[in-house]
Amino acid sequence: MGYWLKRLGYLVKSGGFGKAVKEHKHSKSIENPAKILPVISINDLTDNSEPEMDEVVHADGNVSEEELKCIAKIVKFHQPKTIFEIGTFDGRTTLNMALNAKEAKIYTLDLPQDEIHSTSFRIKKADHSFIKKDFSGSRFIDRPEKERITQIYADSAKYNYDELAGQVDFVFIDGAHTYEYVLSDTANARKLLRNGKGVLLWHDYGWREVIQALNEYYQNDPDYAEIKNIEGTSLAYLHLK
C-alpha cells in the first residue's frame, strides 16, 4: 500500500497521472488473440520414452518443467544431428537438448546485453530482465556437454545464418517475443533446415504477439498447416517433412 501511495503522489506531482491511467486502460483493452492451433499430446509426437534430464530446478525465465520434459522427449525421439537454439538464457534448455541427442552439435544464440537498446526490432519490457545477465549458459558451462555446444552472441535478427544454412535438423525459438522477432526468427530458422526439412519448436505460444504471429502462419501459409500446440504447454511444434 505504501508503494502505491508513493507512486500515486509522484504521478500526480509530475503530471503523469492521466497518462498512466490511459496507458493502463490501453494495455488492459488489448486482449490476447484466441489460441487457434490444434492441440496435440506429446504422446502422439514421440514414443514417450523417458528422457534424461538435469538442472531441472526452474528459474524465472526458464521454460516450465513440463515443457522442458517435452523438449527433451522430442529431441530424444528425433535425434537431430545439429540443433540451433535462439535464446540461450541460462542454458537449461540447451543442456537438456544436449543430454538427449548425444551425438548432436548444438548452436545457441543470445543477445549481448549491451545491445539491448540497438536491436533490429522492438523488444518487450518483459524480456529485458532475461537479457540483462552477466553471462549466458551458466547451466552447461562446467559440463562435458559444453564441448558440443557453440555459443553465439548476436541479435537474432542480425546474425548471418548463411554459414549454417541447410545444416540444421532442429530449431528451438525462444528469443525476443515481439511479433517482428517471431517472424524474423522463424524465417531464419527455415533457412537453417537441412533440405528444408526438420523440426521447428517455438516457446511462449501464450504471449500475445507470439500467438498473433503463429496464428497468422497457420491461417495464411500452407507450409504451417501442420503446426500444433503441445497439450498443457506453450510450445508450438512443426515437423517439416
Ligand X SMILES: C[S@@+](CC[C@H](N)C(=O)[O-])C[C@H]1O[C@@H](n2cnc3c(N)ncnc32)[C@H](O)[C@@H]1O
140 binds ligand X (CB under 6 A): no
92 binds ligand X (CB under 6 A): yes
The candidate with the shortest Cα–Cα distance to 44, out of 228, 173, 218, 202, is 228
55, 110, 145, 209: residue in contact with ligand X (rule CB under 6 A):
110
Report the site for ligand X in 9-38 (rule: CB under 6 A). Answer: none
CB of 128 to ligand X, least distance (A): 9
206 binds ligand X (CB under 6 A): no
The secondary element (H helix, E strand) that includes residue 66 is: helix 65-78
55, 145, 155, 169: residue in contact with ligand X (rule CB under 6 A):
155
CA distance 174 to 184: 12
55 binds ligand X (CB under 6 A): no
How many Cβ atoms from other residues are within 10 Å of residue 171's Cβ?
26
CB of 143 to ligand X, least distance (A): 15
96, 108, 119, 234: residue in contact with ligand X (rule CB under 6 A):
119
CA distance 211 to 203: 10
Contact call for residues 63 and 207 (beta carbons, < 8 A)? no
> Residue 5 or 57: which CB sits closer to ligand X?
57
The candidate with the shortest Cα–Cα distance to 75, out of 37, 103, 112, is 103
Grid coordinates given for 166: 541447410
Interacting residue ranges for ligand X, rule: CB under 6 A: 61-63, 87-90, 92-93, 109-111, 119, 123, 127, 130-131, 136, 155-156, 174-176, 181
